[in-house]
Structure 1
């Protein structure tokens, strides 16, 4: 059954809740790790601080990634409430820099495609989308959104939800995309949380 929006699908709502629980648990674990680190520093000889400082830096970086992941949950839900799933139209590729590229047909010119990226930062190498694509386990995906702005990618089911976006759709320092996009498509992208510029 094809739903008007992805969020109307009970399996999508369940996948979002599962994603939310996992990301919140990861954030909680990273926050609990700090008192454990502090306890280890206090209980060990002072010279071991040389070893504990790099551990702190790595822990803080992963805590920051966990905060960003939790913060993206609201944006993910917003996109899913606006767009339906496009099933198995998205091609998935691994790039040399360690990131994953999603190639999606342009909604208004299906003969052309638009690419969105995920990963490529320190600490994202073990994320499902980077590992699974690099190993060849995943070559196609579901997509909800407008690839010219932003969207949510999932493995069929859906599972492993991740929010992806073009930089100009989220970065206020860049001019939002206007060319080649109909007013209706821009209105939907705006409803999903993208920067689309004035009419």
Structure 2
């Protein structure tokens, strides 16, 4: 079953399986890093001398940081599910991407460039604002140091969402019929109330759909003229 036959990405069984694997990695990581902090501390106190404190301390602090940081993955996994429930997959060939700052973009970071659904002649960047788990994508974006063949690993690009607001990207599996490496991208005003919303000509239905997908701060967005 091809994903484009489904009314939403979530209706695609391989997508639900991919999301479940994504969530399970979050759970396993949380268990490992949560156990690592007290475990390393116990080993340092019980089995080593004071001379080894400075050897263990960086690892203990890092495991504590990772344990706390891992907690932030769960809300984003739930947001990802909300987007997948609302939008269907689009299978896109040759989506422009880059490693440097996109001209005129609000944020600095690696990016994909999508066409504006309201005006196909206009282009909208989705920047990797959150750098968590972006390293895999970083190594496959268009750039002078991208190793040959790596860009092909994200072709065609799977995209579910609206680039004016938020979306989920994914790379195809080897068979090309299922997504992998799910990642949420969004425009900063969607989740940051301090930023003025920009809707790129979206109508009321588009804004309401984005809100159903999890967009939070679009109530003050400019409304289209009748």
Indicate the TM-score class for this superposition, using the shorter chain for normalisation: 0.7 to 0.9
In the alignment, is the contact (CA less than 8 A) between 1:5 and 1:84 conserved in 2?
yes
In the alignment, is the contact (CA less than 8 A) between 2:115 and 2:122 conserved in 1?
yes
Q: Which has the higher strand share?
A: 1
Aligned pair count reads 197
Q: Which has the higher helix share?
A: 1
In structure 2, runs of 5+ residues without a counterpart are 102-107, 173-177
Secondary structure class of the residue paired with 1:172: coil
1:64 is aligned to 2:80: no
1:54-100 residue CA offsets vs partner (Å, 9 max, x unmatched) = 22332233223322222211100100010011102572635158953
Deviation at 1:17, TM superposition (A): 0.8
Q: Which moved more, 1:109-118 or 1:21-30?
A: 109-118
- The TM-score with structure 1 as length reference comes to 0.86
Question: What RMSD in Å do the two structures reach over aligned CA positions?
Answer: 2.5
Q: Distance in 1 between matches of 2:25 and 2:49?
A: 35
Residue in structure 2 matched with residue 52 of structure 1 by the alignment:
56
- Aligned residue runs from structure 1 range 30-179, under 5 A: 30-42=33-45, 43-89=47-93, 91=95, 93-96=97-100, 99-118=109-128, 121=131, 124=133, 127-133=135-141, 134-135=146-147, 136-137=150-151, 138-140=153-155, 141-156=157-172, 157-179=178-200
Match of 2:13 among 7, 10, 15: 10
Q: Distance in 2 between matches of 1:165 and 1:119?
A: 8
Q: Distance in 2 between matches of 1:94 and 1:40?
A: 45
* Structure whose CA Rg is larger: 2
- The TM-score with structure 2 as length reference comes to 0.77
Q: 1:139 to 1:13 in 2, by over 3 A?
A: closer
In structure 1, runs of 5+ residues without a counterpart are none
Moved over 3 A (4+): 96-100, 131-135, 137-140
1:190 is aligned to 2:200: no
Secondary structure class of the residue paired with 2:72: helix
1:19 is aligned to 2:22: yes
Q: Which moved more, 1:76-85 or 1:112-121?
A: 112-121
